[in-house]
Amino acid sequence: MSDHESTRDRILDAATQVFAASGLAGARVDAIAKAAGCNKQLLYHYFGSKAGLFEAVVLRVLASRPPISLSSQEDVEAQIAESISDIRKKGDWVRMLAWEALQSEGCAIAAYSQRRAMLDESVTEIERGQQAGIFDKTLPPRFLLLAMMGMSMIPWLLPQHVRLLTDMDHDDPAFLDKYGELLAKLMTKLSKPDAT
C-alpha cells in the first residue's frame, strides 16, 4: 500500500468514526484530521470538502458489500444472516445512516447514483426470485426490499427498544441468533407464493 493510499485510508477510518458520532452536520474537519493524524489541508486535497469526504466514506462501505443473491429459499435465509452479520460489523455505518436521515431532509443524498444502482440490483434479484417462485409475485419488490432492510437494521437503530423488550443487548450473540431466526421465519412466511 502506498503512502497516498495509507493516508487516504486513515482519513476515511477517522471520518467514519466522527460521522457516526456526530453526523455530517455535526462533524468537524479539525476533529477528523486530528483523529487521522494529518492536517486538514490534506483532507481537502484528497476529498475536496467535508461532503466529499462523507460521500467517499459511503462509497467505501458500498464497495465492501457483496451483491445480494436470492436463487433459493436457503439463499433468503443466508442473506438475512449475512445482513445481520454485516450490520453488526458496521455499527458506524448504521449510525451514519441514522444521522443522514435526521440531517438531510430536503438535501441531496450522498452517492445517490451509486446507492440507487446497488438497490436496483437487489430489486432485480428479488424480481428474479419472484419469477423462480421464491417470493410471492403480488409483493412489490421495492417495498419488500425496504421491509427486509428495515427489519435487519432496526436493532441497531433502536437498541434501547431491544433492551426494553427483551432485556438483552442488541449486539449480544444470543439476541442476534434469536432475532436472525425470527427474521428467517418471517421472510419464509412473507415469501411463500400466493396460492391463488
| 75-94 pLDDT tens trace | 777 777 777 777 777 788 88
**Half-sphere exposure (Cβ direction) of 84: Cα atoms closer than 13 Å:** 24
- The CATH architecture that domain 3-62 belongs to is Orthogonal Bundle (1.10)
Q: Do residues 18 and 35 touch, judged by C-beta distance below 8 A?
A: yes
Domain with CATH 1.10.357.10 in the chain: 69-191
d(CA 174, CA 168): 8
Q: What is the pLDDT of residues 32-76, one digit of tens each?
A: 999 999 999 999 999 999 999 999 999 998 888 776 777 777 777
Hey, which CATH number is domain 69-191, 1.10.10.10, 1.10.357.10, 3.10.20.340, 3.40.640.10? 1.10.357.10
Report percent pLDDT > 90 for the chain: 48
